[in-house]
Amino acid sequence: MQEIVRMVDILKVYPNGIVANQKVNFSIVEGEIHALVGENGAGKSTLMKILFGIEQPTEGSIVLNGQEVKFSNPQEAIKHGIGMVHQHFMLVPSLTVAENIVLGDEPKKAGGLLDIQKAIADTAEIAKRYHFDIDPKAKVEDCSVGTKQKIEILKALFHGAKVLILDEPTAVLTPQETSELFKELMLLKDKGHTIVFISHKLNEVKEITDRITIMRAGKDVGTYDTDKVSKEDISNLMVGREIVWDLDKSKAEPRDVAVQVENVTLVNEHKRKLLDDVNFSIRKGEILGVVGVEGNGQRELVDVLTGLQQASLGTITINGENIQRYSIRKIRDLGLSHIPEDRMTLGVAEYASIEENLLSIYFDKPEFLNGPFMKLKQINAWAKEKVVDYRVKTGSEKTPVKMLSGGNIQKVVVAREFSNNPKVIIADQPTRGIDVGAAQFIHKKLIELRDKGCAVLLVSADLTEVMDLSDSLVVFYNGRIVGYFEDASLLSETELGLYMLGLKAQSEAEIRRCVYA
Amino acid sequence: MINLLTPEFLFTVIRVTTPILLAAMAAVICNKAGVVNIALEGIMLTSALTGVLISGFTQNLWLGALGGIVGGVFIAFLLAYFALYLKTDIILGGIALNLLTVGGTVFVMFAITGDKGATNSVRSLQFPSINIPFIQDIPIIGQMLSGHNLLTYLAIVMVFLVYFLLYKTTFGLRLRAVGENPDAASSVGIDVNRIQLYALLLSGVIASFGGMYMSMAYLKVFTTNMVAGRGYIALAAAAMGQANPVGTSIASLLFGFMESFGYQLQSRGIPSQFINMVPYVSTIIGLVLYAQYRQRQIAKKKIQKIHEEEVKA
- A269 interaction partners in chain B (CB closer than 8 Å): 299
- Residue A73's pLDDT is 87
Residue A444 lies in a domain: no
Q: What is the dihedral of CA A181, A185, A188, A193, to 10 degrees?
A: 140
Q: Which domain holds residue A408?
A: 342-420
pLDDT bucket at B245, cuts 50 / 70 / 90:
very high
Q: Is A99's CB within 8 Å of B173's CB?
A: yes
pLDDT at A157 over 70: yes
- Tell me, what DSSP letter sits at residue A364? T
Q: State whether A90 and B183 contact (CB < 8 Å).
A: yes
Residues across chain B: 313
Residues A78, A219 share a domain: yes
Tell me if A94 sits within 8 A of A139, measured CB to CB. yes
Residues 6+ apart with CB under 8 A from B277: none
Whether residue A7 sits in one domain with residue A113: yes
Span B7-312: which CATH code? 1.10.3470
Give the Cα separation of B296 and B304 in Å (integer): 12
Please identify, among A239, A268, A285, the residue that sits at the C-terminal boundary of a domain. Answer: A239
Q: Assign A236 a pLDDT band (cuts: 50, 70, 90).
A: confident
What does DSSP assign to residue A297? S
The number of folded domains in chain A is 3
Which of A36-50, A179-193, A237-251, A500-514 is predicted least confidently?
A237-251
Give the residue among B119, B137, B149, B134 at the shortest CA–CA distance from B54. Answer: B119
- Hey, which of A319-333, A338-352, B37-51, B182-196 has the most confident mean pLDDT? B37-51
Could you tell me if residue A442 is inside a domain? no
Which CATH number do you get for residue A485?
3.40.50.300
Asked if B240 contacts B247 with a C-beta cutoff of 8 angstroms, the reply is yes
How does pLDDT run across B17-26, given as a tens digit for each residue? Answer: 999 999 999 9
B105 min Cα distance to partner chain A (Å): 38
For A341-378, how does the pLDDT look when each residue is reduced to its tens digit (9 = 90+)? 888 888 999 899 999 999 999 988 888 999 889 999 99
Q: Is residue A439 in a domain? A: no
CB A327: neighbour CB atoms within 10 A? 10
Who wins on pLDDT, B293 or A220? A220
Quick one: closest CA in A to B189, which residue? A75
Residue B197 near residue B80 (C-beta atoms within 8 A) = yes
Q: Phi and psi of B87, rounded to 5°?
A: 60, 35
Long-range contacts of A231-236 (CB under 8 A, 24+ apart): A231/A202, A231/A203, A231/A206, A234/A37, A234/A202, A234/A205, A235/A202, A235/A436
Pick from A160, A135, A130, A161: nearest CA to A148:
A135
C-beta atoms of B299 and A270 within 8 A:
yes
β-pairing verdict for A424-428 and A82-85: unpaired
SS3 (DSSP) at A490: helix
Smallest CA–CA distance, residue A163 to chain B, in Å, is 16
Give, in degrees to the nearest 5, the angle at Cα B277 between B275 and B282. Answer: 110
Q: Does residue B237 surpass a pLDDT of 90? A: yes
For residue A139, list its beta bridge partners: A96
Whether the pLDDT of residue A268 is over 80: the answer is no
Quick: pLDDT tens for B137-180.
Answer: 888 888 888 899 999 999 999 999 999 999 999 999 999 999 99
- Residue B311 reports pLDDT greater than 60: no
Q: How far apart are CA A28 and CA A212, in angstroms?
A: 10
Q: Which tens digit of pLDDT belongs to each residue from A1-16?
A: 788 999 999 998 877 6
Whether B311 and chain A come into contact, CB under 8 Å, resolves to no
Run of H or E residues at A235: helix A231-239
A303 or B4, greater pLDDT: A303
SS3 annotation, chain B: CCCCCCHHHHHHHHHHHHHHHHHHHHHHHHHHCCCCCCCHHHHHHHHHHHHHHHHHHHCCHHHHHHHHHHHHHHHHHHHHHHHHHCCCCHHHHHHHHHHHHHHHHHHHHHHHHCCCCECCCCCCCCCCEECCCCHHHCCCHHHHHCCEEHHHHHHHHHHHHHHHHHHHEHHHHHHHHHHHCHHHHHHCCCCHHHHHHHHHHHHHHHHHHHHHHHHHHHCCCCECCCCCCHHHHHHHHHHHCCCCHHHHHHHHHHHHHHHHHHHHHHCCCCCHHHHHHHHHHHHHHHHHHHHHHHHHHHHHHHHHHHHHHHHHC
Map residue A367 onto helix, strand or coil.
Answer: helix
CA A246 from centroid of its chain's CA atoms? 22
Q: What is the 3-state secondary structure (H, E, C) of A102-170?
A: HCCCCCECHHHEECHHHHHHHHHHHHHHCCCCCCCCCEHHHCCHHHHHHHHHHHHHHCCCCEEEEECHH
**pLDDT over 90 percentage in chain B:** 66
CA distance A76 to A69: 10
B298 contact A CB<8A: no
Of A486 and A216, the one with more pLDDT: A486
ipTM over cut 0.85: no
CA distance B242 to B290: 10
Sheet strand arrangement including A321-322: A273-283, A257-267, A313-318, A321-322
For chain A, the distance separating the N- and C-terminal CA atoms, rounded to the nearest angstrom, is: 66
Cα separation, B78 vs B60, whole angstroms: 27
Position A441 in a domain: no
Residue A516 pLDDT > 60, yes or no? yes
Instruction: Kindly tell me if the per-residue pLDDT of A337 is higher than 80.
Output: yes
Q: What is the pLDDT of residues A185-196, one digit of tens each?
A: 999 999 899 999
pLDDT for residue B266? 79
pLDDT digits (tens, 9 = 90+) for B203-226: 999 999 999 999 999 999 999 999
A466 belongs to a structural domain: yes
Nearest to A114 among B173, B184, B306 (CB): B173
pLDDT at residue A302 greater than cutoff 50 = yes
Q: Which residue has the higher pLDDT, A272 or A469?
A: A469
**pLDDT tens digit sequence for B64-117:** 999 999 999 999 999 999 999 999 999 999 999 999 999 999 999 999 999 988
**pLDDT value, residue A262:** 94
Check residue B304 and give its pLDDT: 62
A243 confidence band (pLDDT: 50, 70, 90): very low
**Pairing status of strand A82-85 against strand A3-13:** unpaired
CB contact under 8 A, A112 and B169: yes
Residues A95, B188: C-beta atoms closer than 8 Å: no
- A264 and A289 in one domain? yes
Q: Do B174 and A103 touch (CB under 8 A)?
A: yes
Burial group, residue A317, by CB count within 10 angstroms (0-12, 13-18, 19+): middle
Q: At what angle do helices A406-418 and A436-451 cross, to 10 degrees?
A: 10
Q: Return the SS3 of A313.
A: strand
Distance CA A147, CA A134 (A): 7
Q: Which of B188, B299, B309 sits opposite A269 (nearest CB)?
A: B299
Distance CA A342, CA B129 (A): 61
B173, B180, B183 ranked by CB distance to A93: nearest: B180
Give chain B's largest Cα–Cα span. 76
Report the residue of A82, A90, A176, A275 to disrupt the B interface, i.e. the one with the largest count of B CBs within 10 Å. A90
Residue A443 maps to a domain: no
Three-state DSSP class for residue A25: strand
Task: Pick the residue from chain B with its C-alpha nearest to A144.
Answer: B309
Greater pLDDT, A211 or A491:
A211
Q: Is A27 helix (H, G, I), strand (E, B) or coil?
A: strand
**Contact: A114, B168; criterion CB under 8 Å:** yes
8 Å CB contact between B248 and B256: no
B173 part of contact set with chain A, CB < 8 Å = yes
Q: What is the CB neighbour count within 10 angstroms for residue B96?
A: 18
As a whole number, mean pLDDT of residues A303-331 equals: 91
Does A253 share its domain with A370? Answer: no
Range scoring the smallest mean pLDDT among A390-404, B162-176, B264-278: B264-278
Residues A21 and A143 placed together within one structural domain of the fold: yes
Nearest Cβ partner for B184 among A90, A108, A272: A90
Distance from the Cα of A268 to chain B's closest Cα (Å) equals: 9
More confident position, A257 or B292: A257
- A104 and A52, same domain (yes or no): yes
Whether residue A193 contacts residue A130, with contact meaning beta carbons closer than 8 Å, is answered with: no
Pick from B183, B189, B299: CB nearest A78 = B189
Closest CA to B94 of B203, B183, B17, B195: B203
Asked if B188 reaches chain A (Cβ–Cβ under 8 Å), the answer is yes
Q: State the best of B188, B296, B307, B310 to mutate against chain A, taking most chain A CBs within 10 Å.
A: B188
**Together in a domain, A225 and A249:** no
Report the chain A residue with the minimal C-alpha distance to residue B179: A92
Pair A92, A188 in one domain:
yes
Share of chain B above pLDDT 70, in %: 94
Residue of chain A with shortest Cα separation from B170: A114
| Mean pLDDT, residues A92-117 taken together | 91
pLDDT of A245 reads 53
Question: What is the C-alpha to C-alpha distance for residues B229 and A486, in angstroms, rounded to an integer?
Answer: 69
| B161 CB within 8 Å of a chain A CB | no
Residue A459 identity (one-letter amino acid):
V
- Tell me what the mean pLDDT of segment A214-223 comes to: 86
For chain A, which residues lie within 8 Å of any Cβ of chain B, measuring from their own Cβ? 74-75, 78, 86, 88-95, 99-100, 103-106, 108, 112-114, 155, 159, 268-270, 272, 293, 295, 478, 502
Beta strands in A161-272 (DSSP E): 163-167, 194-199, 211-216, 219-225, 257-267
Q: How far apart are CA A261 and CA A307, in angstroms?
A: 13
Query: Is B306 close to A103, i.e. CB distance below 8 A?
Result: no
Q: pLDDT value at position A240?
A: 57
Tell me which residue of A308, A292, A291, A299 sits closest to A274, measured CA to CA.
A299
A280 lies in the same domain as A179: no
Note the pLDDT of residue A18. 67
With CB atoms and an 8 Å threshold, state whether B190 touches A103: yes
Q: Do A74 and B189 touch (CB under 8 A)?
A: yes
